[in-house]
Structure 1
Amino acid sequence: MNENFFFNYKEYDFWPLYDAIKKYYPIGIKKNQHFDIYRQYHGIQELEKIILKRLEGINSGYGSWKSFVKKLGDEIGKHTHGSTFGFAPSYSAYLSLESEGNDDKWNCKELCFSVSHLGKFYQVYGIEKSVRSSVIIYDGEEVPYQTINVKKIVVSPLGEFKSYFEKVENYINDEYKGYRIVPFEIGQTIIDGLQILHLDNEKCSINMALFNDFLGLGEQVEEVEPEGDLFYGMENWKK
């Protein structure tokens, strides 16, 4: 069960997260009921411009991101894969740490990371999952289909993810000055009335608003007990 956004304001200042979300999303306006009004919100219009520039290749920041990801992978010695997609408000990628199996089923471990378009925030976590490929029949035709089973989510430097987690974090800190990692426990909290432009979810988390829905609030993620320090990175948000 995800908690509502909350923090100890006497010791920490997480208002920048809320302020960034409030700037771009019309909190309290339900997209499925009042889509025209939702789209008229100045923040949504600004967000659409940011994303469209990226999709059209106008934003030179995407080229810098791809160069950064390639350099990171080359220096760490692991293959990198871009995962920036659609209207997600972030650049994202992952390191492929381990992959074994065959054409139909394989297990993999990845170190995922994202940098938000909406403020100086980033995200890092490790994931272990099994992927099964199959074919379904749709409208008389065979359509490739994948099912993904998340086995583990690691939210701080821990175990086999530790060194890669720390290296990626150091690289991001060097490349994106002033950016701060969003602690997993904070990022997974929800804001009542928050709905995301490109998603249909009725409940949306801070991570979904700032990065993407890879850690969405679905059963696949909620059934997995995160490993590591859920509040890793909190010291960067102290007053």
Structure 2
Amino acid sequence: MQYFNPDMFDFGKVFDSIKHFYPIGVKKNESRLDFSYPGFKELESIIIDNIHSVKHFEDRWSVFIREIEAEFNKETIGTTYGQAPSFSAFVLLEKSTFDNLTRTKEVHFFVSLVGPYYTIIGLDSNTVKIEEKNYRSTNYLVVSPENEFAQIFRLLCDKIETRFEGFRFIPIDLCRQVIDGLNVRYSAENLNTVFHALFNDHIDLAVNSTIGNEYYKSEDWIKEGSVDISGGWTAYPPIG
């Protein structure tokens, strides 16, 4: 995992957003402080306004999904979960079935309600059906525009950044970074990564097999005034 040079990148804004909404270090089931934390209450209000309000959810997300589906001519399935702090969906890129095995290629996209952040992850997976039960496994993740995922990956970046002005892509390397003491309320599981704080728990980022640039679009986070000196980066204060 790369640790981004703070003199060059301003990813600190992401962690500031997370600290604003989550009571870092307050353990579940040991204190009621997490329920009274002002940030939790504020985030809950944001989720209710954006997701639980039928009109707002339609205007801010459902319409967007239909636009994506119509333009790409690919089935697009909403996956927004009413308690997690994000809009989410995926484009079904390919699907093939042989006997009881189904292989799918999907491009998942997530738009955070915690701050102006989004990410996209391609997923190649298998589903085996045995006695009416489905067993799913991930073959690999696609973390930047690669191979058959490339076109839709890039187009989704463009579409999201146009629709959600000022939102920036969170690279998979940052998504995977662990935040000690993170407490999310939408799951009873121990979810402690940046991805869990900003988006949801729909994809297992612990999968070792990945394709693509894990620092994709990190150049969008370079601080204004940073310059490259002999392979290293630094940032100068503004003049005046």
TM-score tier by shorter-chain length is: 0.7 to 0.9
- What residue is the counterpart of 1:11 in the other structure? 8
Tell me, in whole angstroms, the C-alpha distance in 2 between the residues paired with 1:164 and 1:190.
29
Counterpart secondary structure, 1:185:
helix
For residues 194 and 98 of structure 1, do their structure 2 counterparts lie closer, same or farther at Cα, with a shift above 3 Å needed? same
Counterpart secondary structure, 2:210:
coil
Counterparts of 1:150-169 in structure 2, within 5 Å, are 150-169=138-157
- Equivalent position amino acid for 2:104 in 1: C
Check whether the contact 1:207–1:215 (CA below 8 A) recurs between aligned residues.
Answer: no
- What residue is the counterpart of 2:237 in the other structure? none
Task: Give the Å deviation of 1:126.
Answer: 0.6
- What residue is the counterpart of 1:197 in the other structure? 185
Bigger shift: residues 112-121 or 222-231: 222-231
> Unpaired runs of 5+ in structure 1?
136-143
- What residue is the counterpart of 1:178 in the other structure? 166
Instruction: Kindly report the root-mean-square deviation, in angstroms, between the aligned alpha carbons of the 2 structures.
Output: 1.9
Task: Give the Å deviation of 1:163.
Answer: 0.6
Tell me, in whole angstroms, the C-alpha distance in 2 between the residues paired with 1:121 and 1:223.
22
Check whether the contact 2:50–2:60 (CA below 8 A) recurs between aligned residues.
Answer: no
Tell me, in whole angstroms, the C-alpha distance in 1 between the residues paired with 2:99 and 2:62.
28
Counterparts of 1:67-146 in structure 2, within 5 Å, are 67-101=63-97, 104-135=100-131, 145-146=133-134
Tell me, in whole angstroms, the C-alpha distance in 1 between the residues paired with 2:41 and 2:169.
26
Check whether the contact 1:94–1:112 (CA below 8 A) recurs between aligned residues.
Answer: yes
- What residue is the counterpart of 1:138 in the other structure? none
Tell me, in whole angstroms, the C-alpha distance in 2 between the residues paired with 1:24 and 1:62.
25
- What residue is the counterpart of 1:148 in the other structure? 136
- What residue is the counterpart of 1:209 in the other structure? 197
Task: Give the Å deviation of 1:132.
Answer: 2.4
Larger relative contact order (CA 8 Å, sep ≥ 6): 1
Tell me, in whole angstroms, the C-alpha distance in 2 between the residues paired with 1:114 and 1:87.
14
For residues 201 and 8 of structure 1, do their structure 2 counterparts lie closer, same or farther at Cα, with a shift above 3 Å needed? farther
Bigger shift: residues 16-25 or 57-66: 57-66
Task: Give the Å deviation of 1:68.
Answer: 0.8
Tell me, in whole angstroms, the C-alpha distance in 2 between the residues paired with 1:152 and 1:125.
10
Aligned length: 223
Q: 1:237 aligns with which of 208, 212, 221?
A: 221
Counterpart secondary structure, 2:53:
coil
- What residue is the counterpart of 1:228 in the other structure? 212
Task: Give the Å deviation of 1:123.
Answer: 0.6
For residues 33 and 102 of structure 1, do their structure 2 counterparts lie closer, same or farther at Cα, with a shift above 3 Å needed? farther
Tell me, in whole angstroms, the C-alpha distance in 1 between the residues paired with 2:85 and 2:194.
12
Tell me, in whole angstroms, the C-alpha distance in 1 between the residues paired with 2:20 and 2:102.
41
Task: Give the Å deviation of 1:102.
Answer: 5.9
Identical positions, percent: 31
Counterparts of 1:30-49 in structure 2, within 5 Å, are 30-34=27-31, 36-49=32-45
> Unpaired runs of 5+ in structure 2?
224-240
Tell me, in whole angstroms, the C-alpha distance in 2 between the residues paired with 1:170 and 1:91.
17
Tell me, in whole angstroms, the C-alpha distance in 1 between the residues paired with 2:55 and 2:194.
24
Tell me, in whole angstroms, the C-alpha distance in 2 between the residues paired with 1:167 and 1:55.
24
